[in-house]
Chain A
């Protein structure tokens, strides 16, 4: 079958898609967007987290047919998306090509080791901060509890999200 949808603001079309393929497979193997990761393909680890019409989902659990006509945001589009959001809100960050607060904070706080969990965590964390700009630690833990990380011990990830929230606030 053929699937038409929007990824990171661009219209995409995938042909000859087998019905059993997941959104994750289409992104990674057909569209050349491997940023969303394939750690379990069972909906257990969150490495493949993308936003589908704004809602965070595990791309590995979304069947190809379900994305017809919808909008997907992946880690590859995160910087641009967050930049646009900041501009819309009249916040400081306007330069093209700049990383989002969450991306920069993950690097600065040492929240990236092997980095395999990172894309999913970034998409999930950015979405949480969009909804809840000043989260408590309990909020962060709850929001990111579906994203496994095997390397960091999560402390640096908590730090990164706190840092991103603080910087986002400062920028207003």
Chain B
């Protein structure tokens, strides 16, 4: 470590600097109406967010703080012969330069399931952009310039980039000497995990089929592209520990991976969630967390790290690109006979969530259909491509893209309407999945399809104005168009999908909530404290609604999420409203019991209903289920503070059998259907999605406004991958070609169609309030519906995402 006089010192701010404790300290929401569940109450953090005061992780600031920067590998696969940091250390303003050799303990790797990811590259780099060294300096530009002076001598190694190169005889092993628990049952050490599912006799069933269709599909690498960059502030503490303010999806998972690397007991790594600018799975793995803490502990100063967009593309895992081979058969009267498929997911250089993505892809590969005879295999590869892991839809997205294309092919072969064909084979409550698990809650697949189909179609040729002149803004390509609609054709396509909710395969998927009820200034106030990461999904809104409904109070304060309370699990898998919402409900119910007990002791002798009636808390009062008021909540509580912290679990799941794939692996399913209407300029190869209608069953909409927002946002991410989004990795060098918003395109307001949403509420009796996870299902069927519409418009086969102009013009 070098320390020298800072070259440019940060000027003291003219306005009050924000210390981390000035971050959203509490989100107090007082509703105009009752504000309980089922209402579209507004976000408690909304005012802070529209005034610019909400403190995101990149807004953290501390007096005397340093800036951290990461040096990343410029090659995909190489032996590191040497690293020379001397020039970097000599840069004025630099406080520390750390490499693998500086790590404080023997624990030098981390990972969600398999600890195969080096904190800093050791001996080898395995993908383009892998972190090699970290620098702390007094100005971000100083840190960047110093990092550029680190000399690394790479001896490049051959890369493996796909199944063929990864499993060829003599292929380089991405991880030599693997000893994780999957190694025993994978056919090659460059395969992270493999899940077969065999049920019935697909071969015999195929012999009964009147038509058989096969297809090969390719799903491109999509990026979460959340807007708030990876960032945070690590502050060294006097007790030798560290406080980290950071944007993440799961504080306790980060903590579990970080503490051993830092050599600190868990309680000395205190984590607080700072404002999160979107996540979509991309914050499930660690990014700058350990690096910032290492630099802070080494320098004894607060260290802020903020990735720029370029670095963000390297700083998180992506959606697994996939190749999928499918075979389906059906009888003349339109019944599916069997399905065989093979799904190959590219996991990139490190395991991340790949094993779980494999389980999902395999178990949901048949889609929301009844198919009794199946032969399924899903694998994830280790390659030298960028690591892939969690993203909205998690393995189910890639499968849905393929099985929905297959449904259209079969319908066409049989001369049946594609929606009717799907409805004929749609699963329903009671259907057995290929895993042998029975779907034990409503599965309104046929109804969702009916709803999107019944919706009136948008008018034809909307770009024609009254005078028959074209408004070019409404044409594919918009103002940059060079035609006036001559080559524009319209198409309509449908798709439906099934997604599991919550963590599966036997994972202990619990959450913790602490609820306090007390009287402040004569009014009962509930305080809800969980470690749930609010990443934009609206969990904070819903928690306040639950507390109001359960405790009958109007004022609810949501405490900032931190590790001072038990784990809430991840904000992913559409699970937070279910699991942490369930935990808040559970804690509230226990608090209510204590309150009623207090009431019984105080007032039980005055009114027999205290002992006999079903009692509720409503509008600050204790009432009987008949509506009779027994006492004010404030009078019952007086000076008492009821304060409980409890864990809550959904029904347990079990692992899939490693040979047959059988097992009750999932806890709940969610379903969405889309109808896409597109216009394609066949000369220019440009697509405009005119409308993307969606119907989804949400079980119970706790906050209808948020639910609609989730469905529309998820649908648009599906549109993105259908027509524009792809991280392009050079197949020869395994280097990323487009790590910027200039070259990785995400939809703008001009690319966005109308997204009408139709919500069904068929309660799942096993879930709190009957709710069903919402966030992911709309991402599944959006993509295949758009592809189907483009095929319908053009008559082209189109078997890959995204569809690019050259695929449409045949160039």
Contacts and interface: CB of A to CB of B under 8 A. Distances in A.
B42 interface: yes
Interface stretch (B273-281, B445-453, B560-568, B623-631): B273-281
A18 B8 contact: yes
Q: Interface residue tally of chain B, by bracket?
A: 35 or more
A135 to B, nearest CB: 12
B227 A12 contact: no
A157 B741 CA distance: 21
Contact of A107 (B50, B536, B715, B747): B50
A118 B59 contact: no
A91 to B, nearest CB: 20
B42 A32 contact: no
Contacts of B711: 153
Contacts of B14: 12-13, 31-32
A47 interface: yes
B225 A112 contact: no
Contact of A75 (B52, B61, B309): B52
B52 A35 contact: yes
A114 B50 contact: no
Interface stretch (B150-158, B598-606, B702-710): B702-710
B441 to A, nearest CB: 27
Contacts of B580: none
B31 to A, nearest CB: 13
Contacts of A72: none
Given A16-B9, A154-B716, A112 B17 contact: no
B10 A117 contact: no
B749 interface: yes
Nearest to B535: A114
B227 A144 contact: no
Nearest to A102: B50
A42 B536 contact: no
Nearest to B48: A115
A45 interface: yes
Given A32-B17, A150-B280, A37 B227 contact: yes
Contact of A112 (B49, B58, B229, B716): B49
Nearest to A45: B741
B43 interface: yes
Interface in A119-172: 119, 122, 138, 140-142, 144-158
Contacts, number: 203
A144 B254 CA distance: 36
Contacts of B717: 150
Contacts of A155: 712, 752, 754-755
Nearest to A111: B709
Contacts of A35: 51-53
B284 interface: no
B11 A30 contact: yes
A94 B411 CA distance: 62
Contacts of A37: 56, 58, 227-228, 277
Contacts of A75: 50-52
A152 B713 contact: yes
A76 B47 CA distance: 12
A1 B125 CA distance: 41
B415 interface: no
B365 to A, nearest CB: 27
A150 B706 contact: no
Contacts of B43: 107, 112
Interface in A22-41: 28-41
B281 to A, nearest CB: 12
A22 to B, nearest CB: 11
Residue among A13, A42, A147, A158 with max Cβ neighbours from chain B (10 Å): A42
A108 interface: yes
A153 B719 CA distance: 10
Given A35-B52, A110-B40, A153-B716, A42 B746 contact: no
Contact of A39 (B45, B227, B275, B537): B227
Nearest to B537: A113
Contacts of B59: 28, 34
B709 A153 contact: yes
Interface in A65-81: 74-76, 78-79
B749 A145 contact: yes
Contacts of A74: 52
Contact of B227 (A45, A99, A107): A45
B754 A150 contact: no
B51 A116 contact: no
Interface string B753-793: 01100000000000000000000000000000000000000
B284 to A, nearest CB: 16
A75 B717 CA distance: 27
A117 B227 contact: yes
B293 to A, nearest CB: 21
Contact of A79 (B51, B705, B714): B51
Nearest to A104: B50
B334 interface: no
A15 interface: yes
A46 to B, nearest CB: 9
Interface in B703-758: 705-706, 708-709, 711-717, 740-742, 746-750, 752, 754-755
B538 A153 contact: no
Contacts of A141: 473, 749-750, 752
Contacts of B741: 40, 42, 44-45, 148
A76 B52 contact: yes
9 contacts: A18-B8, A37-B277, A39-B228, A40-B309, A113-B536, A114-B227, A115-B277, A150-B717, A151-B536
Given A116-B227, A155-B752, 12 more contacts: A13-B14, A31-B13, A42-B740, A42-B741, A76-B53, A78-B51, A107-B43, A116-B278, A119-B52, A151-B536, A152-B709, A153-B713
Interface of A: 12-16, 18, 20-21, 28-42, 44-45, 47, 74-76, 78-79, 99, 103-104, 106-108, 110, 112-119, 122, 138, 140-142, 144-158
Closest 5 CB pairs of A and B: A35-B52, A114-B536, A153-B712, A116-B277, A115-B49
